[in-house]
Amino acid sequence: MAVLAASTRDDNAAMDLSRFPRRRYTPTPTPLEPLPRFSAALAASCPGGRGPEVWIKRDDLLGLAPGGNKTRKLEFLVADALAQGADTLVTCGAPQSNHCRITLSAAVKEGLRCRFVIEERVPDSYRDDASGNHFLFRLLGVEALTVVPAGTDMAAAMQRVADELRAQGRKGYVIPGGGSNALGGLGYVAGAQELQQQGFEQGVRFDVVVVGSGSSGTHGGLLAGFLGNRIATPIVGIGVSRDPPDQAPLVHAEAQAVCDLLGLDLRVPHDAVRCVGGYWQPKYSLPNARMVEAVQMLARSEGIVLDPVYTGKVMAGLIGLARAGELRAGQRVLFIHTGGMPSVFAYERELLGLQAVAP
């Protein structure tokens, strides 16, 4: 990772997150643990029968039902909504959106109402009787849900919902897809600080961190946290919806926005943004064989469940990089598990090999 230029500001003060309103939804750090059986299974398929030592950060165990990376972002976003007197959270996502589900969970916990704009990114993929996260939307009591076609201006669609609420004498608070803005990105600055402390306490250092890269809030926020806290470990983002030419600028912009919000006197180096593509095809949320292998491998070696849309494809990327020799034997690699387990129930046949998937 690029060396940071000397700062004229007090970096410690800039990284003090207590300046920002925050709701705490997770009482303890999420587990940081090795995956010895998974590492052995992976090594067996790598050149020479040797592969990296893989660890996992269990952000799937964060608070808000039933856990996932969006919880960290919502700690700051919901605090801001409450400070502004909002009575309804408005957000958007795909039909099986983890972000929508966790936002709704936060709304329930805070006594707020919640509305979604759902983008049908794959034609005819929305079903009102679907399982997975959509079932939880209904169980947790989403107030209203608007389905729009792929390519819709989601910011404008959410603003229309907020305008409708205003006309009714209510106040909506719009949260962007994935909670990905500078304020939400503070959640993974906090995550970086937590990881740094855990590494110190457990006496472990990582050569590479692997994380999913989608709406960019987690990847960009984590990168800002690493830069601000001078953590030199490179972060590799595995794309879940875009290849590097389209994804890297989003991550860079998010990381810079978070740094600017913190008041850090630095420009995010472009070479600090490392994105890998090729594992998300044929399309966002559509399963492929490498994802199925990754989900099965971790489930059957460590008893940990990945999801088919995000973490399954991210782990497929980690496996692919190890087999290609880009993650090498002797390296300690950390995988950030960002959650999403409920959506496995919407892909049962594919994950059990009962239905064909893309190669």
Boundaries of every domain in the chain: 11-67+181-351, 70-179
Task: Give the pLDDT mean for 19-30.
Answer: 97
Q: Starting at the edge strand that comes first in sequence, how are the strands of the sheet with 32-34 ordered?
A: 32-34, 53-58, 332-337, 208-213, 235-239, 274-276
Q: Do domains 11-67+181-351 and 70-179 have the same CATH topology?
A: yes
The confidence band for 286, taking pLDDT boundaries of 50, 70 and 90, is very high
Task: Give the pLDDT mean for 104-123.
Answer: 96
End-to-end CA distance of the chain: 34
Reported as half-sphere exposure (CB side, CA atoms, 13 A), residue 209 has a value of 29
Reported as half-sphere exposure (CB side, CA atoms, 13 A), residue 325 has a value of 2
Task: Give the pLDDT mean for 111-135.
Answer: 94
Closest CA to 225 of 3, 5, 14: 14
Closest CA to 22 of 81, 65, 95: 81
Q: Can you list the positions of beta strands (E) in the chain?
A: 32-34, 53-58, 88-93, 113-120, 144-149, 172-174, 208-213, 235-239, 274-276, 332-337
**Catalytic positions, written as ranges:** 97
Task: Give the pLDDT mean for 60-64.
Answer: 97
Res 10: pLDDT: 62
The confidence band for 217, taking pLDDT boundaries of 50, 70 and 90, is very high
Q: Assign domain 70-179 to its CATH architecture.
A: 3-Layer(aba) Sandwich (3.40)
**Matching residue, tokens 């969970």:** 105
Task: Give the pLDDT mean for 5-10.
Answer: 43
Task: Give the pLDDT mean for 154-168.
Answer: 98
* 222, two tokens: 């984590």
pLDDT of 300 strictly over 50: yes
Res 6: pLDDT: 35
pTM: 0.95
Q: Dump pLDDT digits (tens) for 84-99.
A: 999 999 999 999 999 9
Domain 11-67+181-351 has CATH 1.10.10.10: no
Phi/psi at 236 (5° precision): -110, 120
Q: Dump pLDDT digits (tens) for 315-331.
A: 999 999 999 999 999 99
Task: Give the pLDDT mean for 233-250.
Answer: 98
* 218, two tokens: 């987690």
The confidence band for 1, taking pLDDT boundaries of 50, 70 and 90, is very low
pLDDT of 38 strictly over 80: yes
Contact, 223 vs 272, CB < 8 A?
Answer: yes
Q: Dump pLDDT digits (tens) for 243-260.
A: 999 999 999 999 999 999
Res 2: pLDDT: 33
Task: Give the pLDDT mean for 15-36.
Answer: 97
CA gap 95, 189 in Å, rounded: 28
Res 124: pLDDT: 86
Task: Give the pLDDT mean for 296-307.
Answer: 98
Task: Give the pLDDT mean for 181-185.
Answer: 98
Q: What is the mean pLDDT of the chain?
A: 95
Beta bridge partners of 56: 33, 335
Contact, 311 vs 339, CB < 8 A?
Answer: yes
Task: Give the pLDDT mean for 7-17.
Answer: 70
CA 21 to chain centre: 21
